[in-house]
Structure 1
Amino acid sequence: MKLDRYRKNLQGEVVGPDEKFLKRKQVLELCGISLSHLYYLMNKGKFPKSHRLSHRSAVWLESDINLWRSMNADAFYKEYGEQIKAQQLGEGAAA
């Protein structure tokens, strides 16, 4: 079984059937931030990246959002910032 085909959360675990996908509005409500701040944090590597479902739809993994909510933004960046930026670079290279 090739695990690289499957979505993974920030901790590197394959997303299971009990994982919830959150839409942008749900993420904003849970985190108490504005849309512009959400994208600012994502660009800085201080917020989990979204997962594309289609060309018009993106979601966030509930486990990633809960992980972010349990940490402050700077601690999150120290732990996962490089990983998020590497993912962003990988997507840019593929496009």
Structure 2
Amino acid sequence: MDLNTRVNIKGEPISVDDEMISAKKVAELCGVSRPMVYKLVSDFMFPPKHKLTTTRVGWLKSDVAEWKRLGVDVFYRTYGETLRVRALKGVA
């Protein structure tokens, strides 16, 4: 897969139908603060953000739904190592 292709948490290419949501909306949906969202991302315990413009980021609504479905501990056990490897490679 092209390193520039954006993928969802499961490693599938993002489709045009996938909705991006803001950090504020993510925090509201998950019941955590915005700083906690960023902390969880940095600890590979939450889906990664996607750069939308030079000053804006967003999360895939489907990735956030997967995190809510699994819970933080199962999410980390399921996706944490993959997210860490992607981060080391510089892949979204």
Rounded Cα–Cα distance in structure 2 between residues aligned with 1:73 and 1:42 = 11
Any gaps of 5 or more consecutive residues in structure 1? none
TM superposition shift of 1:48: 0.5
Deviations for 1:58-89, whole angstroms, at most 9, x for unmatched residues? Answer: 01011110100101111000000011111222
Q: Which entry has the higher C-alpha Rg, 1 or 2?
A: 1
State the SS of the aligned residue for 1:54: coil
- TM-score norm. by structure 2 comes to 0.89
Matches within 5 A, 1:1-95: 3-4=1-2, 5-91=4-90
The percent identity for this pair of structures is: 34
Q: Count matched residues.
A: 90
Which whole-Å deviations, capped at 9, do the CAs of 1:21-80 have from their partners, x for residues lacking one?
Answer: 001111111111001211111111100010011221101011110100101111000000
Equivalent residue letter for 2:81: E
Task: Give the letter aligned to residue 12 of structure 2.
Answer: E
Corresponding letter in the other structure for 1:86: V
CA RMSD of aligned residues (A): 1.5
Instruction: Give the alignment's TM-score, normalised by structure 1.
Output: 0.86
More helix by share: 1
Q: Which moved more, 1:81-90 or 1:42-51?
A: 81-90
Give the letter aligned to residue 5 of structure 2: Y
2-structure distance, mates of 1:83, 1:57: 24
